[in-house]
């Protein structure tokens, strides 16, 4: 068990939700987004709401609890198309995720692995074929 881990808090291979959010913050994703009841994303900086299909996901990190499906989380790095704020949203996924969160996760435009983005966009996330050596 990693130092400072709180039982019941989602983690993956020793990484906690707090650590993932801190790493995203260090990478410039300092803002946050909320999911609305209509399965849209609201920027907590400019307070504008956007359909997830109009937002590009540049990175995602999944965390899973060892035995509890409630701990299945996806931390997604996105940019507000209105104000340019880079931030994250935390979405449940899996069998007991809220319908709104599942809808948002499915609708985001996935830009992970696009050439102008870093290959390891998220702490611990691997994108693309790592055998190429680049």
Within a domain: 90: yes
Contact 77, 88 (CB under 8 A): yes
Q: Is residue 126 part of a domain?
A: no
Quote the pLDDT of residue 112: 76
| Contact yes or no for 98/92 (Cβ under 8 A) | yes
Residues 6+ apart with CB under 8 A from 31: 43, 44, 45, 80, 85, 86, 87, 88
1 located within any domain: no
Query: Which parts of the chain have pLDDT scores under 70?
Result: 1-14, 65-70, 113-134
Q: Is residue 5 part of a domain?
A: no
Domain contains 131: no
Number of domains in the chain: 1
Q: Pick from 66, 80, 65, 71: which is nearest to 33 by CA?
A: 80
HEC string of 44-78 equals: CCCCCEECHHHCEEEEEEEECCCCCHHHCEEEEEE
Q: Is residue 55 part of a domain?
A: yes
Let me know if residue 20 belongs to a domain: yes
59: in domain: yes
pTM of the complete model? 0.73
* Domain span at 23: 13-111
- pLDDT tens digit sequence for 37-53: 999 999 999 999 999 99
22-26-32 Cα angle (round to 5): 65
């Amino acid at each position: 068990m990693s130092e400072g881990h709180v039982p019941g808090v989602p983690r993956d291979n020793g990484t906690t939700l707090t650590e993932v959010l801190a790493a995203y913050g260090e990478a410039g994703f300092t803002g946050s987004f909320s999911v609305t009841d209509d399965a849209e994303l609201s920027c907590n900086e400019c307070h504008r709401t956007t359909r997830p299909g109009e937002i590009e996901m540049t990175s995602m990190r999944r965390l899973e609890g060892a035995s509890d499906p409630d701990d299945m989380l996806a931390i997604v790095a996105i940019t507000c198309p209105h104000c340019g704020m880079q931030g994250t949203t935390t979405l449940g996924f899996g069998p007991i995720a809220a319908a709104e969160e599942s809808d948002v996760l499915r609708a985001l435009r996935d830009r992970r692995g696009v050439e102008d983005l870093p290959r390891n966009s998220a702490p611990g996330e691997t994108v693309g074929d790592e055998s190429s050596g680049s």
